[in-house]
């Protein structure tokens, strides 16, 4: 079990064709997001910080390993929530990294919003303002059975 605090650690990621959508969503939710710690991949984090004046801890750009860095923060239990507006119509040079990030988010029971509607529903949840226990499945026994 991992206990999420009231003040969440939220990763913000978007592919190039979705950055505008994410920035608009962040602007609309700026007041609520200001209550939490924000993280982002390089370009997305830079744009959000510039457009909103919100502090965003920035990692590398996605194609340069930023998605992997966010994934490692999830594994270390330093990210509680992922907002990832990805482009379903365009292949990315780092598609394997994207898949790995989404897989890690599922493994570690991280809420993931991949579009505006999902982000709106999740951020309007009363759980956003409360502590919350995430239950991480122990996949160790399953892995041992295979080998």
Task: State the catalytic residue, choosing from 16, 21, 67, 109.
Answer: 67
Please say whether the beta carbons of 71 and 42 come within 8 A. no
* 42-71 burial code (b ≥16 CB/10 A, e <16): bbbbebbbeebebebebbbbbeebbbbbbb
Q: How far apart are CA 74 and CA 46, in angstroms?
A: 21
Q: Does 141 count as an annotated binding residue?
A: no
Instruction: Check the annotation: does 94 bind a ligand.
Output: yes
Rounded Cα gap, residues 110 and 104, in angstroms: 8
Average pLDDT for consecutive 10-residue bins of the chain (147 residues)? Answer: 96 96 98 98 97 98 94 97 94 88 96 98 96 90 71
Does 20 count as an annotated binding residue?
A: no
For the full predicted model, state whether its pTM sits above 0.85. Answer: yes
87 is catalytic: no
The span from the first CA to the last CA of the chain, in angstroms, equals 26
């Amino acid at each position: 079990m991992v206990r999420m605090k009231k003040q969440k650690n939220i990763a913000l990621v978007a592919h190039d064709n979705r950055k505008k959508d994410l920035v608009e969503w962040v602007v609309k939710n700026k007041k609520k997001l200001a209550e939490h710690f924000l993280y982002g991949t390089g370009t997305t984090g830079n744009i959000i910080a510039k457009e909103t004046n919100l502090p965003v801890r920035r990692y590398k750009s996605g194609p340069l390993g930023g998605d992997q860095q966010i994934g490692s923060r999830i594994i270390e239990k330093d990210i509680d929530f992922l907002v990832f507006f990805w482009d379903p119509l365009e292949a990315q040079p780092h598609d394997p990294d994207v898949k790995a990030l989404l897989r890690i988010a599922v493994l570690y029971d991280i809420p993931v919003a991949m579009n505006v509607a999902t982000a709106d529903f999740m951020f309007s949840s009363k759980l956003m303002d409360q502590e919350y226990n995430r239950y991480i499945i122990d996949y160790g026994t399953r892995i041992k059975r295979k080998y």
